[in-house]
Amino acid sequence: MIDLRPAAVQVLLEELEQLPGVGPRTAVRLAQHLLRQPAGARRLAAALVRAADGVRPCAVCFLPAEEETCSVCRASGRNRGLLCVVEDPINAWSIEATGEFDGLYHVLLGTLDPLHGVGPEQLTVAALVDRVRAEPVQEVILATNPTVEGEATAHFVAGVLKGSGVRVSRIAFGLPAGGEISFADQVTLSRSLMGRQRME
């Protein structure tokens, strides 16, 4: 049997399959699209090179940045007494998109996962402690995901910050807007009840 795919296409498929959530079929569809749109493929390639060469973690909060510090850390109008701790930049982007948070962020770059060799040393916990000591932080909001690893990480960070003099809080988890109670899992319902608010 002859492999009809040129070597360059085979390499492209192999690289696409390395992306999260991209299996062989999706890789083939993406490759076909890119080969049919060479101008778009070149723009994508240039964007990938620019991001790979020019983006690095912010020296303060670890959000992606093109300068030494990110736009949030440089912004003068942010509430510097409020620090939201997230697992990864995507979570910070989602929180920022709400327009409800005006504080600063701290990205842990993952969660505790001893089975995969991820301990506190692999995360930015030490940098977080240094920030709390050096900056005028009054409250740390733990916004890790409601997974086993996220919960363990939140509890660990809360323990590390105990005695620091800052208030440590955890974001509430509840039912999504438009969702039905009967479809919610027990953990979500429990969180919804614990995070309930008084109605005025």
Same-domain status, 154 and 119: yes
Residue with tokens 């660990």: 156
Distance CA 176, CA 190 (A): 14
Neighbours of 178 (CB within 10 A): 5
Same-domain status, 46 and 132: no
What are the tokens at 159? 């323990």
The pLDDT tens digits of the residues spanning 71-127 come to 999 999 999 999 999 999 999 999 999 888 999 999 999 999 988 889 999 999 999
**Domain annotation covers residue 46:** yes
**Domain annotation covers residue 178:** no
Same-domain status, 50 and 73: no
Q: What is the 3-state secondary structure (H, E, C) of the chain?
A: CCCCCCHHHHHHHHHHCCCCCCCHHHHHHHHHHHHHCHHHHHHHHHHHHHHHHHCEECCCCCCEECCCCCHHHHCCCCCCCEEEEECCHHHHHHHHHCCCCCCEEEECCCCCEHHHCECHHHCCHHHHHHHHHHCCCCEEEECCCCCHHHHHHHHHHHHHHCCCCCEEEECCCCCCCCCCHHHCCHHHHHHHHHCCCCCC
Same-domain status, 48 and 70: no
Same-domain status, 22 and 43: yes
- What type of residue is 73? C
Same-domain status, 98 and 138: yes
The pLDDT tens digits of the residues spanning 29-69 come to 999 999 999 999 999 999 999 999 999 999 999 999 999 99
For residue 85, what are the domain limits?
Answer: 64-172
Same-domain status, 43 and 82: no
Give the global pTM.
Answer: 0.84
- Rg (C-alpha) for the chain, rounded Å, is 21
Query: Helix 7-16 and helix 24-36: axis angle, to 10°?
Result: 130
**Domain annotation covers residue 127:** yes
Query: How many Cα atoms sit within 13 Å of 98 on the Cβ side?
Result: 8
Distance CA 148, CA 88 (A): 16
CATH code of the domain containing 108: 3.40.1360.10
Domain count, the chain: 2
Same-domain status, 21 and 72: no
Give residue 197's pLDDT band: very low, low, confident or very high (50, 70, 90): low
**Domain annotation covers residue 177:** no
User: What is the reported pLDDT for 106?
Assistant: 98
Same-domain status, 109 and 24: no
